[in-house]
Amino acid sequence: MADGGQQDLARLEAEALKGYRNLTHVCPHWDKTGREALVNPTTIVIHGTGSGSSGWALANMLDPTHPAKPSAHFLITEAAELIQLVPLDNMAWHAGRSAWRGRDELNQFSFGIEVQNPCSLSGPEYSPQQMDRLIRLLRWLMRRDSISSENIVGHSCVAPGRKQDPGPKFPWRFLEREGVARSWQTFSEDVYNGEVRECLIRLGFPDSVRQQATQQEQRVISTQDDLLRAFVLRHCPTLSHFAAGWQEHASKYLSQRELGHA
C-alpha cells in the first residue's frame, strides 16, 4: 500500500478506535495458542445482543464458565462505547454453525461485531450514536482487509432459521447509503433468473449449513421459508414475516425487484 493509502488507513483506524476499551487480555473465549488464527477475513457478521443491556452480553463474554464460550471481536454498547474482546488476528467464537457464499464456519474467515439491542419488533431502535460508531468501525475493517460491501451481513443471514439478529429494527438501508453494505437491488439481472430458492442462494444465503464436526459430515438443508425470513430481515425488515402472506410478498419482491422503500 502506498504512503497515501497507509495514511488513510491510519486515519480510519484512529477514527474507529477513538476512546475504545481493549479487553482482549480479559476475555477468555478465544484461543491464545495461535492455532485459531484469523487469516484473510472476507466477511463481517453483525450481531444484536438480544438483551436489555450490554452489561449482560459483556458478562457472558467475560465469564470463563459460560458453556457456550461466546465472544466477538467488538461490542458496541447502548452508550455507543466500543469494546474490543478478541484480537483481529484471532478467531472469535461468534457465528456458530453458519455459512455464506458457499463457505462454512464463518468464525474462520469473519469478524464479529455485537451491537447492544433487544432485537425485537417491540424493542427500541438502534441509536444514531451506535450506528455512527459501527460505520466508522466497518470502514476501517473493510479497508484494512479489502472486505466488500456484499459481505457485510447479519447473523440471521449466515444461520437462517437458527438466528434472527440483529433483528427487524436494524437500519440496513442506512448502512447501504453509507456504502458499508450492499442493497440486493444492485446485483446483476443474472442473480434473479430461476426459482426463488436459487435467487436467494446466488445472493449468498446458504443452501445448507454444516453441523458439528463428526466422522461423517452432516448438513441441514435450509428451508425456503428460513431463507426467505433471512432475506426479509436483511433486505426488507419492515415487511413483517409474522403477517399473513409474507412469503408471497417476499417472493414477489425478490423476483421483480419491486421493494421500493420497504
SS3 content of the chain, % helix, strand, coil (to 5): 35, 15, 50
- Whether residue 178 lies inside any domain: the answer is yes
Question: What is the mean pLDDT of the segment spanning 246-260?
Answer: 68
Q: What angle do CA 173, 183, 140 make, to 5 degrees?
A: 75
* Percent of the chain whose predicted confidence (pLDDT) is above 70: 91
- Residue 152: give the domain boundaries: 11-187
DSSP 236: -
Q: In this predicted structure, what is the pLDDT of residue 63?
A: 98
219-236 pLDDT, tens digit per residue, is 889 998 999 999 999 988
Residue from 15, 36, 81, 114 carrying the catalytic annotation: 114
Q: Is the pLDDT of residue 262 over 50?
A: no
Q: Is the pLDDT of residue 86 over 80?
A: yes
Average pLDDT, the chain: 90
201-218 pLDDT, tens digit per residue, is 999 999 999 876 555 568
Domain count, the chain: 1
Q: In this predicted structure, what is the pLDDT of residue 260?
A: 40
pTM: 0.94
- Chain centre to alpha carbon of residue 162: 14
- Whether residue 197 lies inside any domain: the answer is no
Concerning whether 258 is annotated as a catalytic residue, the answer is no
Distance CA 209, CA 201 (A): 12
Question: What is the mean pLDDT of the segment spanning 65-73?
Answer: 97
Q: What angle do CA 127, 152, 89 make, to 5 degrees?
A: 100
User: Which CATH number covers residue 122?
Assistant: 3.40.80.10
Helix (H) or strand (E) holding 46: strand 43-48
**Residues linked to residue 75 through DSSP beta bridges, in sequence order:** 83, 114
Q: In this predicted structure, what is the pLDDT of residue 261?
A: 36
Task: Tell me the residue length of the chain.
Answer: 262
- Whether residue 100 lies inside any domain: the answer is yes
Q: Do the beta carbons of residue 110 and residue 95 sit within 8 Å?
A: yes
The torsion angles phi and psi of 97, rounded to 5 degrees, stand at -70, 115
pLDDT-derived band at 1, boundaries 50, 70, 90? low
Distance CA 238, CA 138 (A): 24
pLDDT-derived band at 259, boundaries 50, 70, 90? very low
Q: State the cell numbers at 251.
A: 417472493
- Whether residue 30 lies inside any domain: the answer is yes
